[in-house]
Structure 1
Amino acid sequence: MITAFLRNFNVLTDTEINDFLSMGTIRQLQKGDFFISEGKFCKEVAFIRSGILRSFFSPESGEEITYCITFPGSLMTAYSAFITSLPTLENIQAISACELLVIQKNDIDKLTKSSMNWVKFFKIIAEQQYIELEKRLFLFQKEKAKKRYMDLLENQPAYVRQIPLQYLASYLGITPRHLSRLRKEIIF
């Protein structure tokens, strides 16, 4: 899965992909385990081989706000903390049992120094992260909850039912009760 993911960008050679794979280590997370917790330094990136992760923060009210859900076949990190080397303000937690391929920041730095292909690759990843963030922001501002839910169902139908109601509702910016009503309206 990760080899296909890396090849899909048409930037990396087979040798470069093998270098990446050799630097990675497999990590298992059980449901509820944290990839990273608020206040920690983020020095690694994970490729999600299986399972689902959620990113959330807790404002002063203490209520957890899920702002990102990441599915298999994606890279995941506490992106701002990874770039700035400052402690993270977010938590990344397994919603289900996960298998991750984890690569350390210092190994990524080695890769980017070894080949311009890696610089191009990580530039593309950064651009995609920005586009996804902008898309989510526009979706939140322009569309009603039903449309946001429908988009999620369309893009990740196999995983939506695995996400606990309270996390999914928070991600959609609605109450669990409102989400229950939406689910009854939508037959899938």
Structure 2
Amino acid sequence: MIHDYFRSFNLFSEDEIEEFLKFSELRLINKNDYFIQEGELCKEVGLVKSGIFRSFYTSDEGKDMTYCFRFPNHMIAAYSSFVSGCPSKESMQAITNAELIILKKEAVDELVKNSINWTKFLKIIAEQEYLELETRFFQLQRDSAAQRYETLIKNHPDYIQNIPLQYLASYLGITQRHLSRIRKDVSF
């Protein structure tokens, strides 16, 4: 799986992928445990091998607001904290048991130093994150909650049933009651 993931970028030699694997470690995260919590420094990135994560922040009213899900073959990090060295403004929690391939910041720096391909890879990932953020912004501005729900089902049909309703409702910006009505109207 890891080899296929990195091969899909058409950047890396097999030796570069093996170098990544030497620097990386496998981490198991239990359901409801955190990859990172708000206020911590993010000093590592992960590639989701299995499981589902949610990213959320705490509102001024003390309510957690889910704004993103991470599925297998997605990178996970509190990116602004990772880049800036400032405390994270978000938490990332496993909503199922999960496996991550972890790479510490020092290892990322070493890979970048050894090969321009890792710099290119990080640029691609940053661009993908930006595009995802832009898409999410426009979804919230233009699409109804039902349309956002249908998009989530279309893009991640194998995982949607594993996301608790309160996180789905928060992600969609609606109440659980409204989500129940939408789910009745939308067929899988």
TM range (shorter): over 0.9
Following superposition, the deviation at residue 105 of structure 1 comes to 0.5
Question: 1:53 corresponds to which residue?
Answer: 53
1:133 aligns with 2:133: yes
1:14 corresponds to which letter in structure 2?
A: E
Tell me what 1:103 maps to. Answer: 103
1:57, distance to aligned residue in structure 2 (A): 0.6
5 Å matches for 1:22-171? 22-171=22-171
Shift of the alpha carbon at 1:3?
1.3
State the identity %: 49
Q: Which residue of 2 is the match for residue 173 of structure 1? A: 173
Say whether the 8 Å CA contact 1:49–1:100 is kept in structure 2: yes
Q: Supply the RMSD in Å over aligned alpha carbons.
A: 0.7
Deviation for aligned residue 1:174: 1.0
CA distance in 2, matches of 1:2, 1:75: 12
1:47–1:75 CA contact under 8 A, matched in 2? yes
Unaligned runs of 5+ in 2: none
Amino acid at match of 2:186: I
TM-score of the superposition, structure 1-length normalised? 0.98
Q: CA–CA distance in 1 between the matches of 2:124 and 2:27?
A: 25
CA offset digits 1:129-186 (Å, max 9, x no partner): 0000001111111111111000000000010010000001111111111111010001
Between the two proteins, the alignment pairs up a number of residues equal to 188
Please list every run of at least 4 consecutive aligned residues from structure 1 whose deviation after the TM superposition is greater than 4 angstroms. Answer: none
Alpha-carbon separation, structure 1, partners of 2:110 and 2:14: 17
Q: Is the 1:12–1:121 Cα contact (8 Å) retained in structure 2?
A: no
Secondary structure in 1 aligned to 2:18? helix
- Please give the alpha-carbon distance, in whole angstroms, between the structure 1 residues aligned to 2:125 and 2:6: 11
Q: Distance in 1 between matches of 2:121 and 2:144?
A: 34
Q: Secondary structure at the match of 2:148?
A: helix
Structure 1 residue runs of 5 or longer lacking an equivalent are: none
